[in-house]
Amino acid sequence: MSQPVDIRTACALGLRVWAALAALYVGLLLVSARGSLLFADGYDGVGFVLAVTDFDLSRFQPHPPGFPLLVLCSRLLHAVFAVSPSLSVALVSALLLPLGLGAVSMWLAVLHGRAAALWFALLAGPNILVWGLGVATLSDGAGLGLTLAALSAVAGALSTGSRRLAVVAGVLSGCALGVRPQSAALLALGLASLVVYVGWLRRPWQRPLVIAAATSLFVGLAWLPPLVLTVGPQRFAALCLSHARGHFADFGGRVLGTPADARLASIQLFLRTLAAALGPVLLVGLALCGLWLARHRRTIEIGTYFSGVFFLVSATAYLALALLAVRVTGDGRHLGPVPVLVAAAMAPVLTTAARRRGLRVALLTVAVAAALLNARAVLAFRRNPAAGAQLAAALPDCSVPVYGARAARYVDLRCGAGTAQPAVYLGEVLSDLARRSNPPREVFVTSEVIASPASQRRLRSVGRFCLAADVPSILRIESTPRPPKSTSLYVDTPGCVELFAYRVLP
Amino acid sequence: MTHLPSLVRVAPPRRLFLNSALVLAATAPGCKSPEPMMNPPSGARFALRSGDAKASVAAMMRAAIDMQHNGEPLAEAMGRDLAGYDRSALRPDVYTDPATQQAKPDLVGYSSAVESYEYSKLMMNYLSFESGAGLSLMYGPLLNPTAQTGMAAIALLRSRVQALALASRAGVDMNGPWVIVPAPVNNPLNLLGFPGLWPQFAELARFDTAIEASGNVQRGCSLEGGYGASAGSKITVGDYECGYNSLHIARERAELALHTEALGNAAWKQALWVINYLQLAHDTSGAQWSHIAAAALDQVGKVGNSVQADNNDGKEKGLPGTYIGASDLEGFQALLMTEQIDNKAELLLRRLVSDGTSLVGFADSAAALSYDYQAPLRFFPSQFSVTEQAGQGGADPQPTAYAPLAQESTLASLSSLLAAYAEAFALTDLTNSSVGGSSTVRPVFDGDPFAKDNGMPDGEATLHDRSLAVIKLSLVNIDRVHFDSASGALCDSATVAAGGTVSRTRRASASEAARVISALRTGYRALTAQLTLYSDATPDTLVTTTALDGTSLRGVPGGVALASRIQQLIKAQADVLRTRLVDASGLATNFYDFAQGQGDSQPTRIESQAAAVVGLLDAYLATGQSTYRDLAILAYDVLEKRFHVPALATYRTTLGVDDAFTWTPERFAVVQSALSRMYVLVASRPGGDSLRAPLEARLARLNKLVLNGWDDANDNGQVDYPGECVKPPSGLSSGLMLAERALTGELGSDQGALTADRDRDCVVEIDDAKRAAVLGSSITLAPMLASPLPATSTLGAAKQ
């Protein structure tokens, strides 16, 4: 096992990890975009993308309570670099998720040495689920990155007593709250575990913690009063409550939603989802590692792990939280942090295992191969040229995005002024559905016209068509004041071909 | 259609006629008179103060009947060739003379031939097939006599829809063209073969018109033939035209009530259009033909038939394969509406007949046909509540019980039922050579798809005998329940107590008098095989026998034949109009109370004045007596002098009320009918030339302002869009017509761009209006005047 490094060296290492992973994610985004527009991920992704140009929580309802810092960051990227709205939202994830991974690397370097930090970066960064979040038009990746960075900064502040680091931690925490308010739960758990850890080490912790908490609240909630005042308290509360109710009422049951789901098929589905999240290569790596340790009767120094208790506590707590999230939302992307935490826990073990040259080469080979396979999978997931060509043929006046067909996709189309092509396309797809026997078991259509008097832009139609017969949902057509939600971004919905939103440019 | 038969001798009252012409010529703004404008030359002169966007089915369908009569037939009477209109035109109101190919603005022609006519069809289609605003046909008492529920009920309706689709060739195979054959399985979007089709057999009395129509469009939905003839080929239309799933009303919130008048008016309108659709047959290429050889009639509509239709001129023949209706879609709709009418007749006769205490019904149509003046009193109450249970397995809500809301009979209800089933009977009457006896209609009632009748009123299980039964019950009760022998008038309403004791209101209104005269004329013409599609505006021929003469007719007053009794009733009510409801100057009163011996003390409303015109002209057509027409012209003069407001180029709706003009569907329709009848029966006659332009201007203005909400403030004959569209409050449209669709030019897109009001006529597309394409219950227009209008005398006639 390599020797721990000083904090300055660790910081430099963390920054390099950040830069490398950010380059990887941004590069993938640019490759998959190929000069066209990226699709948005799920209903929430559409909301964020559309919010880049029209942030009106009351009218367009971009995922209440609005995630204003995420939208602000995306809007800045959109304005400064003239990239598309969907790419700008994805770039926020691509830049902020590696920030958290870099921070974790930094602490692993401090605790276990440079090798552990690099093993972590190699395992966590290219993991298929982490990578997916890093290129998604969602808040999950950005929120996770900022949260991990904030926790790292808090740990640093507590362990060193640095007020400056406490302020940084507070700012990062506040940003995490603004980018993804759900981070509050993770931050609270992380802070509690840090307090236990620092108290156990008999270090002074009260003052940095107060500073960090106060700064966090100030930064994190700065957006709330103006947002509430703009929308109106009653409307704001109604939006948030209806969204929360939607999670429970509409999304439950996909994985382990109700007691009735506690049956073998549901459990298998859950395990498949978990396996997909962790990545089969990673699991194989773990198994090989365990076999090697058992064969050579190598014991792991328990003391090595004392310094990583907060990771384990956080990992355990977050695993429970993630399971709860999956349970109530049926959405596998909430498992995103799990590979990060598992990789952090694995890193010292791999560092120990890799002392032997042959094994080190083998493990490195496996890790690089896994990264390459994951890259291929992520790219395939995000691109389907055949389907894209089909859509492009149907919508010649529109900018057709790279197009995903493996799971439910929202496609953010940009069409010429006033074009009716998407409406024609949607109408004909729906007409086709109505003519079929045993049609898709899940159809959502909304044709709400949302007109902005100021811009005259219109979000005309959002539809979702899952052409699989085995999606256990109710067939219905809905006309709702907002687009229907995606129920199963990473859960099993084979055959869902498209899901698109578009707006007509003024 | 305006030729007078030799039986009727008409002497034009030239002096009155010229007076009318002078008044009209002096006041008509539509003919570019120098009438002073009291407002700036652009922007609407009216504000839409309030309105009711709920649909009142009785009023809406009553208006739809008149709007059809005052649509294409009126345009033809005005000398237009219907081929000169393009309903899909970007710029409406243009007439291109097919002979010269010269285009010119034509507000009255377009608003009649396209808008009034097609709006009326939009309303009928919405009620009949698209809305769900009624009792689902899957529980129709003929279609589902054992009250099957759930999937069994769906299967019964699906089977019938499929059969009707095959007979009309609307359904051929899995590609339609309209109905998927066989119907998809396990597809809640398409239970019957046509997506979202929801046929009714009894319409709810009122419903909220709010819908969330799909905002999409599609090219695969071809509106050829009757729908898209003007386009000549496939056109891109709103996808709701070919799948009605997004057109359903919020059925769970609808009030479960039936009004007999609404049932009657809906069936009347449907039957009118069925006659229209069945005037022609079509072949496999869609070509239309008017004649089929007698020997081949039993094969028409059969899958794979090789019948070749023709036009009975010895020239061209159609392709092998002849199917029912003028086109595949129109044939299918005609057959489905016939099914609805038939099931409604069964409902009326078996479930909705009261003895004054409770609903007793008749055992069958034979029992109903034996009803006469001496039988125990049985009648149709005017309103019912309905109890439903939730549908199972994807089926529609199922009616389980009916209860009368009052033991009351209304003249309006009986008038509507009489006329409705008179039209339906004509379809089945082989002795009516123009309708039931025509070779394009006979294949419909030859046993497949509808039962064949022996032509006798003997109670067979056929539409022929059910229609006769409803006619007889309505006709006898108009006389027995509503005729007040002391005054010689048909009273508006009566209550029936246990034992059949009748208490009449002894009040006759101008509106109801006109309606019952029209209905009695319709019944008379049907029962005497004179009724044709638009024979309402032609004189009746006196005959002595009717199709009901073979049934029991005990107790007919005076012991006269039924034909004579109908003539007597028409004459009696016409005389009530002439002597009690209209004074010598032509001014009408709203109603006459025979108990009080006086007319209404309230100011005359425009529907009363217009009804006087219509009723008197109908009386003239029925009796041939020109005194009725002379008085009608005087009544029309009053409409012009006292109701018309030159400064606003419109009518006040109540004498003396100039700050708000409230229009309802009935009010609009009767005024439109008064103008239309004046045109056809007065202005079109020799010497009436000077009346034509003013009447055309009035009609155009009425249609455009009230229906569309377009106020041509600068009188340039073009919509200065959107400034001249009357500004509606939230939730309303500019005019009484709440929205429109492809039939009147709202195709949903233009040149690849989505549109909300494609033809810029102030009536927007249904998915933008979020309303069905039907008439609302009312709108109130408030004039924005710089100075007050001249005062008018408010009181109507009150004859003693």
Q: Which band of pLDDT confidence, cut at 50, 70 and 90, is reported for residue A67?
A: confident
Asked if the model's pLDDT at residue B328 lies above 60, the reply is yes
Query: Do residues A289 and A350 touch, judged by C-beta distance below 8 A?
Result: yes
Task: Determine the average pLDDT of the residues in A150-157.
Answer: 84
Q: Which of B185, B195, B767 sits opposite A437 (nearest CB)?
A: B185
Q: Which band of pLDDT confidence, cut at 50, 70 and 90, is reported for residue A476?
A: very low
- What phi and psi, each to the nearest 5 degrees, are found at residue B709? 80, 25
Task: Determine the average pLDDT of the residues in A350-370.
Answer: 83
Predicted local confidence at residue A429, as pLDDT = 63
Predicted local confidence at residue A23, as pLDDT = 96
Query: Cα(A346)–Cα(A108) distance, rounded to whole angstroms?
Result: 11
Asked if the model's pLDDT at residue B408 lies above 90, the reply is yes
Contact across the interface for B216 and A437, Cβ inside 8 Å: no
Query: What residues form DSSP beta bridges with A365?
Result: none
Task: Determine the average pLDDT of the residues in B146-175.
Answer: 96
Asked if the model's pLDDT at residue B652 lies above 50, the reply is yes
Q: Which residues of A touch B246 (CB under 8 A)?
A: 445, 447, 477, 479
DSSP letter for B1, please: -
* Residue A445 forms contact with B (CB below 8 Å): yes
Task: Determine the average pLDDT of the residues in A222-242.
Answer: 80
Q: Which band of pLDDT confidence, cut at 50, 70 and 90, is reported for residue B26?
A: very low
Predicted local confidence at residue B772, as pLDDT = 97
| Lowest-pLDDT range of A133-147, A431-445, B271-285 | A431-445
Asked if the model's pLDDT at residue A302 lies above 50, the reply is no
Query: Cα(A196)–Cα(A191) distance, rounded to whole angstroms?
Result: 9
Predicted local confidence at residue B233, as pLDDT = 43
Q: Strands B753-754 and B749-750, how do they pair? A: antiparallel
Tell me whether the omega of the peptide bond preceding residue A440 falls within 30 degrees of 0, making it cis: no
Task: Determine the average pLDDT of the residues in A317-338.
Answer: 60
- Please report, rounded to a whole number, the percentage of residues in chain A having pLDDT higher than 70: 50
* Residue A460 forms contact with B (CB below 8 Å): yes
Task: Determine the average pLDDT of the residues in B57-84.
Answer: 97
Q: Which band of pLDDT confidence, cut at 50, 70 and 90, is reported for residue B758?
A: very high
| Lowest-pLDDT range of A299-303, B227-231, B371-375, B525-529 | B227-231
Predicted local confidence at residue A306, as pLDDT = 43
Predicted local confidence at residue A405, as pLDDT = 35
Task: Determine the average pLDDT of the residues in B264-292.
Answer: 97
Of A107, A151, A127, nearest in space to A14 by CA: A107
Predicted local confidence at residue B340, as pLDDT = 98
Q: Which of A418, A426, A434 sits opposite B189 (nearest CB)?
A: A434
Winning range, highest mean pLDDT, from A242-251, A424-433, B665-674: B665-674
pTM: 0.73
Contact across the interface for B186 and A437, Cβ inside 8 Å: yes
DSSP string, B703-764: IIIIII-B--TT-SSS--TTTTBPPPPTT--SSSB--B-GGGT--SEETTEE-SSTT-SSPP
| CA–CA–CA angle B792, B798, B800 (5° rounding) | 155
Contact across the interface for B184 and A437, Cβ inside 8 Å: yes
ipTM of the complex: 0.73
**Token couple for B317:** 């023949």
- What phi and psi, each to the nearest 5 degrees, are found at residue B49? -75, -45
* Residue A473 forms contact with B (CB below 8 Å): no
Asked if the model's pLDDT at residue A443 lies above 50, the reply is no
Asked if the model's pLDDT at residue A300 lies above 90, the reply is no
Q: Which band of pLDDT confidence, cut at 50, 70 and 90, is reported for residue A111?
A: confident
DSSP letter for B103, please: E
Asked if the model's pLDDT at residue A489 lies above 80, the reply is no
Asked if the model's pLDDT at residue B573 lies above 70, the reply is yes
Predicted local confidence at residue B277, as pLDDT = 97
Dump pLDDT digits (tens) for B90-145: 889 999 999 999 999 999 999 999 999 999 999 999 999 999 999 999 999 999 99
Task: Determine the average pLDDT of the residues in B499-521.
Answer: 97
Q: Which residues of A touch B189 (CB under 8 A)?
A: 433-434, 439, 443, 475, 477
Contact across the interface for B217 and A461, Cβ inside 8 Å: no
More confident position, A26 or A272: A26
Predicted local confidence at residue A209, as pLDDT = 76
Asked if the model's pLDDT at residue B162 lies above 90, the reply is yes
Q: Helices A183-200 and A140-160 meet at what angle, rounded to 10? A: 20
Asked if the model's pLDDT at residue B609 lies above 90, the reply is yes
Q: Helices A140-160 and A206-220 meet at what angle, rounded to 10? A: 150
Q: Which band of pLDDT confidence, cut at 50, 70 and 90, is reported for residue B799?
A: very low
3-state secondary structure A151-197: HHHHHHHHHHCCHHHHHHHHHHHHHHHHHCCCHHHHHHHHHHHHHHH
Asked if the model's pLDDT at residue A99 lies above 90, the reply is yes
| Lowest-pLDDT range of A181-190, B585-594, B739-748 | A181-190
Strand B591-593: give its sheet, edge to edge. B507-509, B591-593, B598-599
Q: Which band of pLDDT confidence, cut at 50, 70 and 90, is reported for residue A399?
A: low
| Lowest-pLDDT range of A23-27, A399-403, B294-298 | A399-403
Report the mean per-residue pLDDT for chain B: 90
Dump pLDDT digits (tens) for B444-491: 999 999 999 999 999 999 999 999 999 999 999 999 999 999 999 999
Give the closest-approach CA distance of B311 to chain A in angstroms: 36
Predicted local confidence at residue B21, as pLDDT = 37
Q: Which of B188, B236, B242 sits opposite A431 (nearest CB)?
A: B242
Q: Which band of pLDDT confidence, cut at 50, 70 and 90, is reported for residue A274?
A: low
Q: Which band of pLDDT confidence, cut at 50, 70 and 90, is reported for residue A251?
A: very low
Predicted local confidence at residue B577, as pLDDT = 98
Q: Which band of pLDDT confidence, cut at 50, 70 and 90, is reported for residue A289?
A: low
